[in-house]
Each structure stands twice: as C-alpha cells, then as structure tokens.
Structure 1
Amino acid sequence: MKKTYHFIFVLFLSLSCKNGINEISLNEKASIKTEVNTLINNWHKAASEAKFNQYFGLMDSISVFIGTDASENWGKKEFKEFSKPYFDSGKAWSFKPLERNIYINKTGDFVWFDELLTTWMGTCRGSGVLEKNKKSWKIKHYVLSVSIPNNDVQAVISAKKKMIQYSSINL
C-alpha cells in the first residue's frame, strides 16, 4: 500500500512539474527570436561586407557549413580556409533574407530556423541550428540550398546526369 501511495505521489509530482522542464514564457520566446534574427542578419551582413572575423566569430568552434555543391560539407576550420580568399578580396557573398521562421526548444537554449534568401544564384533556402552557451548564441550548423521550381526539376536532373556521365568518362 505504501508503494502505491509513493508511486502516485511521484507521478503527480512529475506531471505537475512538466517533466522537470521549466518552459520559457511567450515574452522570452519573442526576445529569443529577436536575438536570433539579429545574429543571423549580422552574420549575413558580415559576409556581404567581407568581415571575416565577425562572420566566423558568430559560428561555434565545432560548427558545420553545408553549401550547395555535394562536396561542400565543411567544419569551421575548413570553411574558413575555403572562404578566406573571398573575404580577403573584399567580396564574399551577399544573402538577403526574404523570410525566416525560427523555432525554439522548451528551455530556450536551442533554436532551429529556415529562411528564403535572395542571392547571386537567385532564391536560395538556408536552414540552421543555434545554441546558447552561457550568454551568447552560436551557429552550430547551416545548410544552403539552391531552390529549384518544381517545373524545372527535370532539366536539373538531366544536367546532373550529363555531369555524372562526363565525370565517369574521366575516371
């Protein structure tokens, strides 16, 4: 009988504490969205102004950047090495957000987002993950994708098949 009461008490306690997770308020969510929007906008701005240290300073030490080419899966160190000549020339890249959606975990220390961007490649999609350590947000993961209208997908598939055939000839 004592075990039954103990079980009920523990069950009640765990349900009333929302599984031990303190959820953030709507005001905190709004504040986080503002912080994250500002960080991502500053990140894109740093690239467009070729500010190497500012750009990479917003990325976590173990961050990953995945570009539009299948070979572009870089850790931060490799991405810095690849990007340095572009920044040094004063012309990195310019991504201007058209829209952005930000999603926040229950404790407010982890966000993920997706965005549509205007770029030199036309409209692209970016998506990423940020984590808050101590008091600052850092980009952990970012993926850039070229968006292709559904009506044009077959032409892209054909181009990729030709490229695969061409590269297999040169092996």
Structure 2
Amino acid sequence: MNNKKYPEQIQLYNICIENRRFEAEQITTRNNFFLVFQGILFSVFTTMFSDGKSVTLIYYIIPIIGIIMSFLQTRGAIGAKYWHEVWEMKLFDIEKKLAIASGQRGVFSSIDKYNDTLKLAKEREKKELEEFIKEKPELIKKMLCGFKGSVSSIPIYIGMLCGLSWLLMIIILLLFSKTVYIYRIIPI
C-alpha cells in the first residue's frame, strides 16, 4: 500500500498492530504471574499439610487466598482477551478500508477465501465427529462438538480450574480433618 496516500490510516493501522501485540503479550505475562503465585501458595500449603500437625486457621486462609487469586487471574485473562479481540477488530476494519481505498487486497481480506475453505472443512469434521459419537450421551456431544476454544481462552480456563482446586482443598479439609483448631487453642 502507498504510505504517502493514506498516512493517517497507515499510522492508525500500525498503532493497532502494536496494541494487539501488547495485549497478546500481556495475556501470557499476567497468566504467568498468577500461576507462579498460586504454585508457590500450593507448595506452602502442601508442605505445611505434610507436616502432620493439627489443622489451624492458616490451612483455610491459604486456599481462600488461592481462590481470590484464581478469581483475579480469570478476570484479568477475560479483560486481556477482550482487549486483544478489540484491537483485532479495529485492525480488520482499518485494513478493509485501506484495501478498498487502494483497490488492493490486504492482509486480512486476502485470506477470506482460505477462511471459507477452512470453515467448510471444520463443518465437515464436526459432522463426521457427530456421526462417530451418535450413540454417546448428549453431554459428550456438546463437550466435543460445541466447544470453541482459543489460545487466549486457556488462561481463563486455567484460572477457573485453579479456583475449583482451591475450593476442593477447603472441602477436603472440612470433611477429613479430625479437629479443626483456630489459633491452636479453641477446637471447633
């Protein structure tokens, strides 16, 4: 494309690319921070629990902190995914306008034909999979055929899984600890 003909659009396009790249990097950076924090928290929890001492309040505080961190991780990943998609949409719009104005096919519009072919292939695969599991329960069909995952969704699911794991730890503590001591003085 001619940079001299459409300088504002080209500059806006470059800004959108940089912002999209930044958001993609932030998804990974934020997720790594939360995963390392929760990993350390989990290590502390298991080390304390393996000592065999009586269950104290700290055994409940650690999973509660883990649940809070999982919630924050999930919310952060949802926000990062949202902004990543916003910048992708802006890129697509600007690219289309530039392509129309210059009479050329651009980066995104040139793959429209490929995307259509890919869409048909995915539909065919989905039908084949549905036929393969025809006798299986409806839930399995929905899980296998109805799930639309993306790389930027993985941190969201990881945050949810960590939250459920911490919740499970609290439930196990409540169900299987013989005596729960708060401050090692008052039995509950």
When normalised by structure 1's length, the TM-score is 0.29
Higher helix share: 2
More strand by share: 1
Q: Larger relative CO (CA 8 A, sep 6+): 1 or 2? A: 2
Structure (1 or 2) with the larger CA radius of gyration: 2
What is the TM-score normalised by the length of structure 2?
Answer: 0.27
